[in-house]
Amino acid sequence: MNTSDSTADPPVRTAPDVISALLAAIREGELQPGDHVPSNSALAAQYGVHRNTASKAVSHLKAAGVLSGPAGGKTWVRVKPPYTRRSNMRYHIEKALTLKSEEERAATGVAELDSNLKIESLYEDLVDYDVVDPPSDIAEIFGLAEGQQVLRRTRLRRHRAGAGSSGSVSYLPYDLIKRNPDLLDAKREPWPGGTMHQLFTIGIEIGRIQDRVTASMPTPEESVEYDIPPGVPVLRIRKISYSTEDDAVEIADIPIPADRVELVYDTMLEGWES
Q: Over range 34-50, report the average pLDDT.
A: 94
* pLDDT tens digits along 141-190: 999 999 999 999 999 999 999 999 999 999 999 999 999 999 999 999 98
In a domain, 7, yes or no: no
Does residue 95 sit in the same domain as residue 60?
Answer: no
Task: Compute the residue count for the chain.
Answer: 274
Q: Which of 36, 59, 77 is the last residue of a domain?
A: 77
Residue 126 and residue 129: Cα distance in Å, rounded?
10
CATH code of residue 57: 1.10.10.10
Does residue 73 sit in the same domain as residue 171?
Answer: no
Helix pair 51-63, 40-47: axis angle to 10 deg: 110
Does residue 171 sit in the same domain as residue 38?
Answer: no
**CA dist 205 to 99, 109, 199, 243, 248, Å?**
11, 19, 7, 6, 11
- Average per-residue pLDDT for the chain: 91
Q: Which of 39, 62, 77 is the last residue of a domain?
A: 77
Residue 21 and residue 17: Cα distance in Å, rounded?
6
**Is the predicted pLDDT of residue 269 greater than 80, yes or no?**
yes
Residue 190 and residue 99: Cα distance in Å, rounded?
17
Does residue 69 sit in the same domain as residue 170?
Answer: no
Reduced to 3 states, what is the DSSP secondary structure of residue 269? coil
Tell me the residue range of the domain where 73 lies. Answer: 15-77
Residues facing residue 248 across a β-bridge: 242
- pLDDT of amino acid 3: 44
What DSSP string describes 117-131?
--GGG-SEEEEEEEE
Does residue 147 sit in the same domain as residue 196?
Answer: yes
Q: Over range 124-151, report the average pLDDT.
A: 97
5 vs 105, residue with greater confidence: 105
Share of the chain above pLDDT 70, in %: 93
In a domain, 134, yes or no: yes
CATH code of residue 160: 3.40.1410.10
User: 106 pLDDT band (50/70/90 cuts)?
Assistant: confident
Residue 133 and residue 136: Cα distance in Å, rounded?
9
In a domain, 273, yes or no: no
* pLDDT tens digits along 248-264: 999 999 999 999 999 99
* pLDDT tens digits along 50-92: 999 999 999 999 999 999 998 888 999 999 999 999 999 989 9
Q: How many domains does the chain have?
A: 2
* pLDDT tens digits along 70-81: 888 899 999 999
**Is the predicted pLDDT of residue 10 greater than 60, yes or no?**
no
Q: Counting Cβ atoms within 10 Å, is residue 86 exposed (0-12), middle (13-18) or buried (19+)?
A: buried
Where helices occur in the chain by DSSP H, the ranges are: 15-27, 40-47, 51-63, 90-98, 102-107, 136-142, 174-177, 194-200, 220-225
User: 120 pLDDT band (50/70/90 cuts)?
Assistant: confident
- pLDDT of amino acid 110: 59
In a domain, 270, yes or no: no
- pLDDT of amino acid 11: 62
Does residue 115 sit in the same domain as residue 41?
Answer: no
Which of left, alpha, beta for 193 (phi over 0: left; psi -120 to 50: alpha)?
left
User: 4 pLDDT band (50/70/90 cuts)?
Assistant: very low
